[in-house]
Chain A
Amino acid sequence: MSWRTDDAAASRPWIGPTRPYDLVKEFAIALLVVVLLTVLLAALFSSPDEPQITLSHWAQQAPKDFVTTALAELDGTSDTATYGPPYVAIPGAGQKIGPLNLQQLGGVRIPVDTAHDFVLGPLSTVAASDPSLASAIQRWRTASSDQQRSWADAFGTALEEGSVSGERIDVPSSDNGPVLPIMQAELRLAASGGLEGAMLSRHAFYGTDYTQPLLFLADGSYLGSLADRQHLLGDQWGMMNESGSYPGQTWLWLYTLWYQVPPFSTSDNADALVWGLMLLLTAGFVLLPFIPGLRSLPRRFGAYRLIWRDYYRSTGHGDGPGSAWEGTQGKE
């Protein structure tokens, strides 16, 4: 049976047998059942609500990771500082699908200067009452980029050998210029709970945009380590998982599947490639009725015989395999 024949037959109005069917009653029962089920599930199992991570919490629980991240923001080597659009203007940066760099096409619409926005700007709000910090910030800002790089490298090396406990940074003596006092002040400000506020309130009284603190938090490894424990990482099928023992976004199974297999799992362009593939598959899904071959799959699969088995029995057709339908399937 061809697709056109199937399509034409289904266009004809039904004049065969009918049965009473109370749509409104069916809807009312469905609504009642869903309401009861959701209320019951809510009462029995509640819902996930793992507490948020504050920058203060991060600075106190993983101070060395915090300082390492703040240093990378200051010297422009963090993930955000080197991200490209939409945060930073870096020619050629961003993921590609073949030669196509869609990330660049979006443009820098959410500009972020990590050194200024995550470190120096917030610290400036407290430097007014701390002349030595103001001096350190001024020294950093007026130094050449080569000098800044040299100080940052020296501090980074010292930090690897040193330790950070509480709000105190203990590192071997090195030529790190103003970096140590800047990092010390950043750690103290974060630990005291003032960094988020300083990041958010420098631009406006009201604020609902948490882009900057979230980018800063994500640049460190602390957030990821917590996600790892909850099996939320990309290579742990994390998109389908949920914190705690709750069902996650299982409907993202196909999207997250690609991240588990090569070439996506090993590509630097994984997000762009997976998105490109999913956009293609999604177009196929939406336009399925228009695609020859795919639109005839239901007839090939034959599951319709189960769905409409009562009708087929009543008309003397379709007693499963070997029925009168065999030999009439799958021709586009």
Chain B
Amino acid sequence: MRAPDGPRSWTARVREAAEGALPPEKLLPDRQPAYVASWVYVFGVTTLAALIVLVASGTVLSLEGPDWWHTSAVGHFFNSVHFWGVQMFFFAMVVHLWGKFLMGAWRGRRRATWVVGALTLLVAIGTGLTGYVLQQNFASQWISTQAKDGFNAVGIGAFFNVLNLGQMLTLHVLLMPAAVVLLTILHLLQVRHRGVVPPFDAADEHLGPEEAER
């Protein structure tokens, strides 16, 4: 609706678009379709929980610099939490991915949700690698000197140098986790916007008339 005193502001347009795409009852619903009743649905939120553990433990590790965990028992403990968090994150994410694949979860205008989720996995793998190569131990020496050949073979190594500790540190601590978090937020908003994909061959009476594309 146009305000009587002139054209709608950009702010009003953004607010109206956001409200239209994600009204509060869609953003945080307290009911779900009856078919959302399987353990496989738990792994999406488990991935999110593991991501929060990774960001929190990584934040603690970043407070005193990258070699702190080698010289402090407290630092080593938080490194261990980070390490097991990584394992849990990828385990939950891969199970979530397989679950969504087996559901054909991209049906019904949900293709972009799949694409963003898949990109999140890829960026997370890259983030994991940058973490492995900045450990400043034997594993990081070995992994970085091996991984360089893959990146170099396709010309990426000239720009993404896994042997450069400083570059890997900034990528791992800021840029790549930020990308994972932003992609995750986008993915969650997409899921809430479209809702959970219905079963194949859902009863016709359980499906309303198709809405116009938004």
> A residues bordering B, Cβ < 8 Å?
1, 6-24, 26-27, 30-31, 33-35, 37-39, 41-43, 45-53, 83, 85-86, 94-95, 102-110, 208-211, 214-215, 217-218, 223, 226-227, 232, 234, 238-239, 242-243, 246-247, 249-252, 269, 271-272, 274-276, 279, 282, 285-290, 295-299, 301, 303-304, 307-308, 310-312, 314-315, 317-318, 325, 328
A215 nearest CB across to chain B (Å): 7
A153 nearest CB across to chain B (Å): 27
Chain A binder among B5-13, B16-24, B196-204: B196-204
**Total A-B pairs in contact (CB under 8 Å)?**
318
* Cβ–Cβ < 8 Å partners of B63 in chain A: none
The reply to whether B107 and A10 form a contact with Cβ atoms under 8 Å apart is yes
Out of A103, A104, A105, A251, name the residue touching B94 (CB < 8 Å): A251
* Cβ–Cβ < 8 Å partners of B197 in chain A: 10
Can you spell out 9 A-B residue pairs with CB atoms less than 8 angstroms apart?
A: A17-B34, A23-B45, A85-B158, A214-B144, A223-B141, A271-B153, A289-B110, A315-B203, A318-B201
A96 nearest CB across to chain B (Å): 9
Residues 7 to 66 of chain B near chain A (Cβ within 8 Å): 28-38, 40, 42, 45-46, 48-50, 52-53, 57
The reply to whether A251 and B90 form a contact with Cβ atoms under 8 Å apart is yes
B178 at the interface (CB under 8 A from A): no
Out of B82, B140, B161, B206, name the residue touching A15 (CB < 8 Å): B206
The reply to whether B207 and A14 form a contact with Cβ atoms under 8 Å apart is yes
Evaluate whether A247 and B76 lie within 8 angstroms (CB atoms) in the complex, with A48-B139, A298-B102 already known: no
Out of B140, B149, B158, B199, name the residue touching A308 (CB < 8 Å): B199
* Distance of A51 Cα from B79 Cα, bound (Å): 15
Evaluate whether A106 and B83 lie within 8 angstroms (CB atoms) in the complex, with A52-B137, A52-B141, A218-B145 already known: no
Out of A13, A217, A290, A314, name the residue touching B211 (CB < 8 Å): A13
**A interface secondary structure, majority:** helix
Evaluate whether A12 and B209 lie within 8 angstroms (CB atoms) in the complex, with A52-B141, A282-B122, A299-B200 already known: yes
* Cβ–Cβ < 8 Å partners of B119 in chain A: 286
The reply to whether A10 and B198 form a contact with Cβ atoms under 8 Å apart is yes
Out of A252, A289, A312, name the residue touching B106 (CB < 8 Å): A289
Chain B, residues 147-176, CB within 8 Å of chain A (1/0): the string is 001101111111101011111010000000
Extra pairs beyond A23-B45, A52-B137, A239-B146 (10, CB < 8 Å): A12-B210, A14-B207, A16-B205, A31-B49, A34-B50, A50-B138, A275-B153, A279-B154, A286-B122, A304-B104
The reply to whether A285 and B81 form a contact with Cβ atoms under 8 Å apart is no
Out of B33, B115, B155, B164, name the residue touching A105 (CB < 8 Å): B155
Q: How large is the interface on B (under 10, 10 to 19, 20 to 34, 35 or more residues)?
A: 35 or more
* Distance of A31 Cα from B48 Cα, bound (Å): 8
The reply to whether B152 and A103 form a contact with Cβ atoms under 8 Å apart is yes
B74 nearest CB across to chain A (Å): 11
A255, closest chain B residue (CB): B150
The reply to whether A209 and B164 form a contact with Cβ atoms under 8 Å apart is yes
* Distance of A39 Cα from B201 Cα, bound (Å): 43
Out of A108, A279, A308, A317, name the residue touching B38 (CB < 8 Å): A308
* Cβ–Cβ < 8 Å partners of B53 in chain A: 31, 34-35, 38
Closest 9 CB pairs of A and B: A16-B206, A10-B108, A208-B166, A106-B155, A106-B158, A289-B106, A42-B80, A10-B107, A298-B104
